[in-house]
Amino acid sequence: MSVPKSSLKSTSPLVGEPERLAQLLGIEFAESDLLVMALRHRSAGNLNNERLEFLGDAILNLVIADRLYALHPDAAEGALSRWRASVVREETLATVARGLNLGDYLVLGSGELKSGGFRRDSILADALEATIGAVYLDQGFAVAKAMVERLFAALLENLPDAASLKDPKTRLQEFLQSGKLDLPTYEVTDVRGQAHKQVFEVTCRLTHNQLTSVGRGSSRRKAEQAAAERMLVQLTAATGSSPRQGGHEAG
């Protein structure tokens, strides 16, 4: 990278030295500025980790898919997809990042720093992906793959039953189809907040009984999942039949 080190240096004495994180990862960087960049949130300025995050996300998904394929030779595509989604979702990545104390090394803008951004799931998850991207660029795919496999080994060895990971929208659809009922409709009924911190509100409607539910989330997809989850609660109360429970990403 041709970025002056002075442009990347943190001005806060509270931010940990990236070299410590590199040691914890077991990586000896040839170009240390790559790791420094991976730890810079977009709130810190134009020099930030977004491009590295894009790269790391792709690598992470490939490595996790590869390991799941090898570990579960008899699993169907649907099960593999649900397992992968559960491993690479924001909350899981943030948990792995906390295990590395990644928040201690993040460089944030003043606003994010004051609001505790170093603890936020989304920021931690993005920084972990960016770090994977940095390792790939500096050390190559084999080293990045080995690091991801180390970091996620325990999670991959202790996966829940794949059926329990069906998202709320899927469970609601299957619940309605089992009764030969019309599928729900989802409508965005409100969007609020600034562009990078929007909150979506989605209303889920059923035609056969006129039930509605409202969900909110940081994306339309998450809001739809939250609305479906709430609709499932209503249907369970109304029918006494409980669809299989599973995780969701409502936020």
User: Residue 196: what pLDDT?
Assistant: 73
Q: In 100-239, which residue ranges form alpha helices assigned H by DSSP?
A: 110-114, 121-139, 141-157, 168-178, 220-239
Asked whether residue 8 carries a pLDDT value surpassing 70, the answer given is no
Question: Do 113 and 205 share a structural domain?
Answer: no
Among the three residues 137, 160, 183, which one is the final residue of a domain in this structure? 160
Among the three residues 109, 130, 160, which one is the final residue of a domain in this structure? 160
- Is 190 known to sit in a ligand binding site? no
Question: Do 119 and 216 share a structural domain?
Answer: no
Burial class (CB in 10 A: 0-12, 13-18, 19+), 237: exposed
Active site residues per annotation: 57, 129
Asked whether residue 35 carries a pLDDT value surpassing 50, the answer given is yes
User: Residue 7: what pLDDT?
Assistant: 53
- Domain extent, residue 233, equals 166-239
User: Residue 249: what pLDDT?
Assistant: 36
pLDDT band at 16 (very low <50, low <70, confident <90, very high): low
Asked whether residue 14 carries a pLDDT value surpassing 70, the answer given is no
- Is 121 known to sit in a ligand binding site? no
Among the three residues 117, 136, 160, which one is the final residue of a domain in this structure? 160
CATH number for position 49? 1.10.1520.10
145 occurs within a structural domain = yes
Chain mean position to CA 127: 11
Q: Which two tokens stand for residue 40?
A: 């810079």
Whole-angstrom Cα distance, residue 56 to residue 59? 5
- Tell me the pLDDT tens digit for each residue of 54-73: 999 999 999 999 999 999 99
User: Residue 237: what pLDDT?
Assistant: 82
CATH number for position 195? 3.30.160.20
- Is 126 known to sit in a ligand binding site? yes
Burial class (CB in 10 A: 0-12, 13-18, 19+), 212: middle
29 occurs within a structural domain = yes
244 occurs within a structural domain = no
Mean pLDDT of 190-203: 89
In the three-class reduction of DSSP (H, G, I as helix; E, B as strand; rest coil), residue 99 is classed as helix
